A and B are shown apart, each in its own frame.
Chain A
Amino acid sequence: MRRYRIVLAVDDSLVDRKLIEKLLTNFSCKVTTAENGQRALEILGLGDGQHNSKKNDLKVNLIITDYCMPGMTGYELLKKIKESPTMKEIPVVIVSSENIPTRINKCLEEGAQEFMLKPLKQSDVKKLSCHIMKVNKSCKGRPFMGR
């Protein structure tokens, strides 16, 4: 029986998308990438004009999103996900190249599971393991701020 963890990775950088995809694939995750927030919402079935219960929406276990993106920021994407009755339980991890405490607090207060610093390392992805497991499993994940 396959035990894929399905992760949606959102980042406007081509290089970073390739990196996160490989990082997660090496940890036996199945990865879908999106280059911006709008595209991410469409993949989740939360795009404009989409209904919540489409059959072919992607069922994800985890969403990892960059903070700084043109158009919709990772924070705004986080808010939209948390507003959705179908998606709000999915853990969302925000990644950023900048270590700004107000930014970190803002994201955690809005419901982000973790905030991590870029560039991501294998040890960072390993720390996400409990969030990639089934959502109803209790997880002692404390807010973690990378290195």
Chain B
Amino acid sequence: MDRNQVHRQVALMRQSFFDQGFLDEQFIQLEELQDEANPNFVEEVVTLYYRDSTRLILNIEQALEKSPLDFNKLDCHMHQFKGSSSSIGAKKVKSECTQFREYCKAGNGEGCMRTFQQLKKEYAILKKKLETYFQMARQAGPKEIACRPKPKLDICPDLEKNYVGWIPSRFRYTFSF
């Protein structure tokens, strides 16, 4: 398969994540932060998320084994987990987190457990999809079209620097080997 075909495949895969509701616009925010200084920023953040959230999932699992259930504690753990999931744009996972917290507020232990199983499924599905995606993107290599380096935006408005826009991520991506 030639490189252009691989690039197309990667782009299609990426689009499917949004179309199928796995990711939301926060993921695009991450992509737009990626630049020459941090060419693997998105993958780094996602990797960090999966590594860090293992601990949070374990906390919730342990809390769900207690009897009686401490809904405040469960809600607190889930609040943290939801926050991280939201920060990477994990839409379906975030949705399950919200549902879980609703059950916590209602004191519904069964609901919590059911939702948590669903949450773990979505979490695992997304992980697999993103792993495949990043791997393929790395194989595809940087696009042939040269990309203008993203200018550092000057946050001080009173200076006479030009405010230059940048190419939105959906039209370009660069992944280094």
Asked if B52 lies at the interface with its beta carbon under 8 angstroms from chain A, I say yes
Across-interface contacts of A19 in B (CB, < 8 A): 30, 33, 45, 87
Q: Min CB distance, B103 to chain A, in Å?
A: 18
Q: Is the CB of A3 within 8 A of B29?
A: no
Asked if B107 lies at the interface with its beta carbon under 8 angstroms from chain A, I say no
Asked if B167 lies at the interface with its beta carbon under 8 angstroms from chain A, I say no
Q: Min CB distance, B5 to chain A, in Å?
A: 32
Across-interface contacts of A68 in B (CB, < 8 A): 79
Specify the chain A residue showing the minimal Cβ separation from B79.
A68
Q: Is the CB of A15 within 8 A of B155?
A: no
Asked if B157 lies at the interface with its beta carbon under 8 angstroms from chain A, I say yes
Give the contacting residue for B83; candidates A13, A22, A23, A121; CB below 8 A.
A13
Chain B residues within 8 Å of chain A by Cβ, number: 30
Q: Which of B33, B37, B44, B87 neighbours the largest number of chain A CB atoms within 10 Å of its CB?
A: B87
Q: Min CB distance, B111 to chain A, in Å?
A: 21
Q: Min CB distance, A22 to chain B, in Å?
A: 5
Across-interface contacts of A25 in B (CB, < 8 A): 37
In whole angstroms, what is the CA distance A141 to B9 when docked?
A: 46
| CB within 8 Å for A18 and B45 given contacts A28-B155, A133-B156 | yes
13 contacts between A and B (CB under 8 A): A3-B156, A13-B52, A13-B84, A18-B45, A18-B48, A26-B33, A26-B153, A27-B153, A118-B83, A118-B86, A126-B155, A129-B156, A129-B157
Given contacts A13-B87, A97-B83, A125-B155, 11 further A-B pairs with CB under 8 A are A13-B84, A14-B52, A15-B52, A22-B38, A22-B41, A23-B33, A27-B154, A119-B26, A122-B33, A130-B157, A133-B158
Nearest 9 A-B pairs (CB), nearest first?
A: A129-B155, A27-B155, A119-B87, A15-B84, A14-B52, A22-B33, A15-B87, A15-B49, A97-B83
The chain A residues found within 8 Å of chain B, CB to CB, are 3, 5, 12-16, 18-19, 22-23, 25-29, 68, 97, 118-119, 121-122, 125-126, 128-130, 132-133
